[in-house]
Amino acid sequence: MAEIEQEIKLPASKAGRIVGKGGKTLKEITRQTGAKLDLSRDEVQGDGGLTRALKLRGSSNAIAMACELIDQIMNSSASLESFGVSNNSGQGQQQAFSPPLARFDQVHQLPPPVPFQPAPVIDFHTAKMQMEALLQMHPSLATLVPSMVPQSSLFQSPQMPYMLPPPLSQPMIPAIPNAKRKRVSNGEEEQAPSCIILVPISAVGGLIGKAGSGLKQLSAESGARLSVERDEVLGERMVTVVGNESAQMQCVQSICGILQPKAGETLNLKFLIPDTITGAIVGKKGVGLAAFKKDFGVGVELPREDYQGHRVLSVTGVVEGLQAASAHIIHTLGAPPLPR
């Protein structure tokens, strides 16, 4: 049976229960289910608090049983012995754990089995275009579309193959954060000025800081509000900066300083630009893009790929040039869109 890999986010406050004393609980879960577990030491600030990433590797069946056991351990106040993990080495005999598959079916409310019907073979480009068209018509589906994983072997039989999604599958296409809104004097709402940048996953921890201290310091110094989204675009995390134009500029410039490589080396920074603003960035016959090199000494790329009404503007250069270019981009984002 082919191995698959799955990643889940655990509350940092409960990670110790999954590890156990000397890693006993992790080892016991692996022994009982056959799934290999790797818990990251890094804590990442999410919407619900600090989390740690737990990677599971093995067959679909093994991962499903491991997820069920992890859920029981985290949500139960019983001692670890209840799950077949003994805290007293050498005293007594460990009780074997039998995964409650029937209960797992009930918890996840698996649909009735449907005979598998092979879909017509289409190339990747066509499939991508069809998926993007569907998401443009129904944006809410972005958080519901499962990963494009081959047919699962979970609970299959040779006579009746089923098509089931893998356990805890992640969204294939991330949702772009909605613009923040604020109340105005007449009681209506208007969009609060904001920009979205992409930060490499390897640099997110340094940006957030311990218990979110880095984000709090950036907010205090600039006056802008920051949020780090869990979803990824092009393998990087989305950071939303909300505030007036001056606060956004100061905040993004400080982020450039945090991400700065060694002195004299270049840095790459990516912005998510709404489609309605790309015309102002590009300029007539590309004059706007050419001005980045002339005025700020940075290189820019603006691929045609669309991400839910946004395009990725990639800016590369030394930190000083990036800071000046980011100020120009933020000013353009705050300006009214050009008439079509």
Cα–Cα distances in angstroms (integers) from residue 296 to residues 232, 283, 320, in the given order: 28, 16, 8
The pLDDT of residue 78 is: 47
How far apart are the C-alpha atoms of 222 and 247, rounded to whole Å?
Answer: 5
pLDDT, tens digit, 9 for 90 and up, residues 195-242: 999 999 888 888 888 888 999 999 999 999 999 988 788 888 999 999
Could you write out the DSSP letters of every residue in 188-221?
A: -EEEPPEEEEEEEHHHHHHHH-GGGHHHHHHHHH
Q: Which of 181, 306, 326, 317 is nearest to 251 (CA)?
A: 326
Q: Which two tokens stand for residue 338?
A: 């050009």
pLDDT, tens digit, 9 for 90 and up, residues 103-129: 444 444 455 666 666 555 555 666 667
Q: Which residues of the chain have pLDDT under 70?
A: 1, 77-128, 138-191, 335-340
Q: Does the pTM of the predicted model rise above 0.75?
A: no
184: CB partners within 8 A, 6+ apart: 190
Domains along the chain with CATH numbers: 4-108 (3.30.1370.10), 116-173 (no CATH), 181-334 (3.30.310.210)
